[in-house]
Chain A
Amino acid sequence: MIVEGLVFAFLTMIVSCAAILLGIREARQGKPPQIRTLTALDAINEGIGRATEMGRPVHFSAGVGNLTVRGAPVMIASLSFLSHIAEQAARFDCPLIATVAQGDVYQASEDIVRASYVRAGKADAFRPDAVRYLSVNQYVYAGGIVGIINREKVAVNIMIGHYANEALFIAEEAHSAGCLQIAGTTNEYQIPFFVAACDYVLIGEEVFAAAAQLSSDSAELGAMSGQDFVKVLSIALTLLGAIATTFGSDFFAKLVRM
C-alpha cells in the first residue's frame, strides 16, 4: 500500500509527528519546555524601538517564496514574525513597510498586518501601503526593496523568509544605507551571505524556534521539545549507520531505502 522506497520515510514521519504531538500535549498540561532566548528576537524589539526614536520606518521582507511550494513552511513562520513586528510597530507608532514578492503572500500579509494593528488598538493607523507587492521576479523585487530602503530612509531591515540570489544584494545595500539588519532563512546557500552582511541572523531551524517563541503559545513551544527528540533520534540513526557501514554491514543502508 505504501509506495516502494518510501516506507522508511513514512515511518519516520509518523514517529516525528507522534513525538511533536506528545511534546505539545505535555506543554498543554503545564510543562512547557525552556527555550534559550535568541538574540535576534531581542534585536527585533530593540530595532523597532530604535526606528521609533529616529522617526524612520522598519522594513520587513518575507523573501521570494510563496505559500504553496518548497519554502512554504519558512514563509508561514515568516508571517508569524510579520504579525509580531506589525503589532509592535503599531504600538510604538513606528511606520512599517512590508514588501512581498508573491500574490498569495501579499494577501496573507495584508490581512495579518491589518489584524495586528487592530490587536494593538490602532486600527485607524493602518495604511494600505504598509504592505507592498513588488514583483515575482527576484531581481525586480530586490531592486524595489533597495529603492524603498534608500528613498524612505529605512532604519531597520528585517529579512526573514525564503531567499535566493537576491539576498546578498538587498542585505549589502541595506548595510550601505546604515540599517540595523536582522535576517533568517532555511536556504543553506544564503545563510553565509546573511552572516556576512547582517547584524543578527536566525540560522535554519532557529527561524521556526523563534516563530514559536513569538507566539508564546504553549503548544507551539511544546512542539520544540518534540523536535529535539526527533533530532536525537536522527543523530542516533546517523551514528549507528556510520558504524554499521564502517564494519561492512549494509543493514541501515537497506533500511532507509525500504
Chain B
Amino acid sequence: MLKRTLPLALTVFVGFLIVFEYFVDIPALHSAGSAITGWMPLIQSFAVVTGTINLIAVHGHSVRTKRQGWYYSLVLFVFLAATVIVGLGQGTTVPAYRFLYDKILIPCSSTMAGMTAFFIASASYRAFRATNTDSALLLISAGLVMLGRVPIGEFVSVKMPDVAQWIMDIPSMAGQRVFLVCAGIGYISLCLRTIVGINRTHLSGNE
C-alpha cells in the first residue's frame, strides 16, 4: 500500500488540487496550492543530496579502479569538497565562494555556450545539403533568412530584410504555433493520464 496505493492517491489529490487552484478563485485552494508548490524546492534539495551521493559513488569507483580518465574524477572531488566546505562553512557570499562561482564555473559555462556557434555551423553544413525537396526548401529559406539578417543582404537587394522577416513571421511562426498547440494537447493528455493513474511510469520502480 505504501509503495503503490499511497503515491497514486497523493498524485490524484495533489494533481487535481493544483489544476483547480489555477482556475478556481477560492482562497483556501490558493493557500493549499502555494503550500504544496512551496514544498517542491525542499523535495528537490533532498533529491540533489541523493544525486550527489551517486556522483561520489560513481567517481569514487572510477578512482579506485583507475578507469580511463580517473584523474578527472579527482578534480571533481577537489572542487566538490572546496565548494561544500566554503559554502557550508562561510556562506555563499564570501570571496572564496564567489571565486569558485564567478571565476571558474561561470567562465567554463560561458566557454561552452560560445562553442555552440561552431556546432551550429557544422550541423548546418550537414543539414543544408539539398538531397531532396525538403532539404532544398530548408536550404533556400535558411539562406534567405541569413542573407536578410546580415548587412550584405541589403547590398544584394533592399527587400532582403523584409523577405527574411516575412519567412520568420508567417511560415515559420505558423509552423511553431502548430507545434506548440500539438505539444500542449500532448501535455494535457499525459498529465491527465498521470493524475488519474493510467500512466504509472514514475512508479514503475515499485512494480
Contact = CB atoms under 8 A, between A and B. Distances in A.
Nearest to A68: B40
A55 interface: no
B46 A20 contact: no
Contact of A169 (B50, B52, B112): B112
Given A9-B23, A108-B202, A204 B189 contact: no
A140 interface: yes
A205 B185 contact: yes
A142 interface: yes
A223 B194 CA distance: 12
B25 interface: yes
Contact of A103 (B26, B48, B112, B120): B48
Given A2-B23, A205-B182, A196 B126 contact: yes
Contacts, number: 201
B193 A219 contact: yes
Contacts of B99: none
Interface in B185-207: 185-194, 196, 198-199, 201-202, 204-207
A2 B25 contact: yes
B106 to A, nearest CB: 10
A76 B201 contact: yes
Contacts of A208: 186-187, 189-190
A39 interface: no
Contact of A76 (B24, B115, B199): B199
Nearest to A168: B119
Contacts of A76: 190, 194, 199, 201-202
A103 B186 contact: no
A203 B178 CA distance: 12
A196 B124 contact: yes
SS of B interface (majority): helix
B176 interface: yes
Contact of B55 (A69, A134, A169, A224): A134
Contacts of B108: 139-140
25 contacts: A1-B26, A21-B192, A76-B199, A79-B202, A83-B201, A83-B204, A103-B49, A129-B57, A132-B55, A137-B109, A139-B108, A139-B112, A147-B72, A165-B116, A166-B112, A175-B123, A186-B187, A203-B179, A205-B183, A205-B185, A211-B201, A219-B198, A223-B198, A224-B189, A226-B189
Interface of A: 1-3, 6, 9-10, 13, 16-17, 20-21, 24, 66-69, 73-74, 76-77, 79-80, 83, 100, 102-104, 106-108, 110-112, 114-116, 119, 128-129, 131-134, 136-140, 142-143, 147, 151, 165-166, 168-169, 171-172, 175, 186, 188, 191, 193, 195-197, 203-205, 207-209, 211, 215, 217, 219-220, 223-224, 226-227, 230-231, 234
**Across chains A and B, which 6 residue pairs bring their CB atoms closest together, nearest first?**
A111-B205, A103-B47, A133-B51, A196-B127, A208-B186, A196-B123
